[in-house]
Amino acid sequence: MAVYTEVSDEELDAFMATYDLGQVLSLKGIAEGVENTNYLLHAEKGYFILTLYEKRVREDELPFFVGLMEHLSAHGLTCPQPVRNRAGQALGQLSGRPAALVTFLEGMSIRRPEARHCGMVGQALAGLHQAGSDYPMQRQNNLSVEGWAQLVERAHQRADEVMPGLADEMSAEIAFLRAHWPKNLPSGIIHADLFPDNVFFLSGQLSGLIDFYFACTDSLAYDLAICINAWCFEGDTSFNVTKGMAMLEGYQKVRPLTPAEIEAFPILARGAAFRFMLTRLVDWQNMQVGALVKPKNPMEYYKKLRFHRQAQSVRDYGLHS
């Protein structure tokens, strides 16, 4: 359960007294998510998500995320909206953590995505990229190639405990990606973490996107490669080309990929798989005794990485036009 910081009744009452939302009726911890503490808060004026930002999120970057959600919503993307208090502030302090309230989105995440869901996600991702194209703030992606190199260094000593030979394989992979990572592709605001639990559906239609706390400025096609990894592999880590085709075609209906992006796609997908393998590996190695959140298995993304190493072109992902 993703509740790292407990909130006392007295602290909550003091925090909520700065808002015009009425009396708090209930507060329930939310299991999803691994980065921050999230609660479903029911007040007299409706339901809201209360987020306490944990140590991985830098406090000085929070205005970027708050402003981004407001900007995307103003440009037609359905996503949570920060709720401002009586002083007009969207950020406060609660239980020793920076905290914010955002609006509650109706819908549910899909645990077993079908091709049609992948198509809708592709369209929504392209819509996000377009909506964020004139967002004035920027945030460096700290989990790009040089960030991966730092993770390799952190995980290297104990990597072979997960799989014999993994340490050397990681070193070879980061050397390859450093040498071949594409440059000068179209860039802008990316979500960078659009996994199925961050997309809501209602009555068979995509109803909104959530959790923008990895959002940053990077290659737009890299964001699409992250989604291909997250949505288009089956439980046995085999690639579902029908899902891949649906997602890529859905994306291109809104924002056509450039020839350079199409050529670079296999390496982008390879890098995306390596990124999530590494962060999962570091979390796995640093699991705290008694932690309420169980780290995800890094080997799932190692298996996806092996697929991408064999991919020759974007045709291997289902795009034939």
91 touches 63 (CB < 8 A): yes
Residue 1: per-residue pLDDT: 38
Return the closest-CA partner of residue 162 out of 273, 302, 271: 302
Cα–Cα distances in angstroms (integers) from residue 65 to residues 26, 100, 165, 218, 281, in the given order: 26, 11, 39, 15, 26
Sign of CA dihedral 84, 90, 91, 94: positive
- Measured torsion, CA atoms of residues 130, 134, 136, 137, in degrees rounded to the nearest 10: 10
Structure tokens at 56: 């991985």
Domain with CATH 3.90.1200.10 in the chain: 115-317
170 touches 156 (CB < 8 A): yes
Residue 33: per-residue pLDDT: 58
H helical segments located in the chain: 9-16, 62-74, 115-131, 145-155, 166-180, 220-231, 241-254, 259-285, 299-310
CA 67 from centre of chain: 17
Which DSSP helix (H) or strand (E) runs through 216? strand 216-219
Domain 9-103: CATH architecture, name and number where available: 2-Layer Sandwich (3.30)
Q: Per-residue pLDDT tens, the chain, 321 aa: give them.
A: 356 788 999 999 999 999 999 999 999 998 765 678 899 999 999 999 999 998 777 889 999 999 999 999 999 999 999 999 999 999 999 999 999 999 999 999 999 999 999 999 999 999 999 999 999 999 999 999 999 999 999 999 999 999 999 999 999 999 999 999 999 999 999 999 999 999 999 999 999 999 999 999 999 999 999 999 999 999 999 999 999 999 999 999 999 999 999 999 999 999 999 999 999 999 899 875 544 556 789 999 999 999 999 999 999 999 986
CATH topology for the 115-317 domain = Aminoglycoside 3'-phosphotransferase; Chain: A, domain 2 (3.90.1200)
CA 247 from centre of chain: 17
Domain with CATH 3.30.200.20 in the chain: 9-103
User: Long-range CB contacts (< 8 A, 24+ apart) of 183-188?
Assistant: 184/260, 185/219, 185/220, 185/221, 185/222, 185/258, 185/260, 185/261, 185/264, 186/219, 186/220, 186/221, 186/258, 186/261, 187/217, 187/218, 187/219, 187/220, 188/129, 188/132, 188/133, 188/135, 188/217, 188/220
* First-last CA distance in the chain: 44
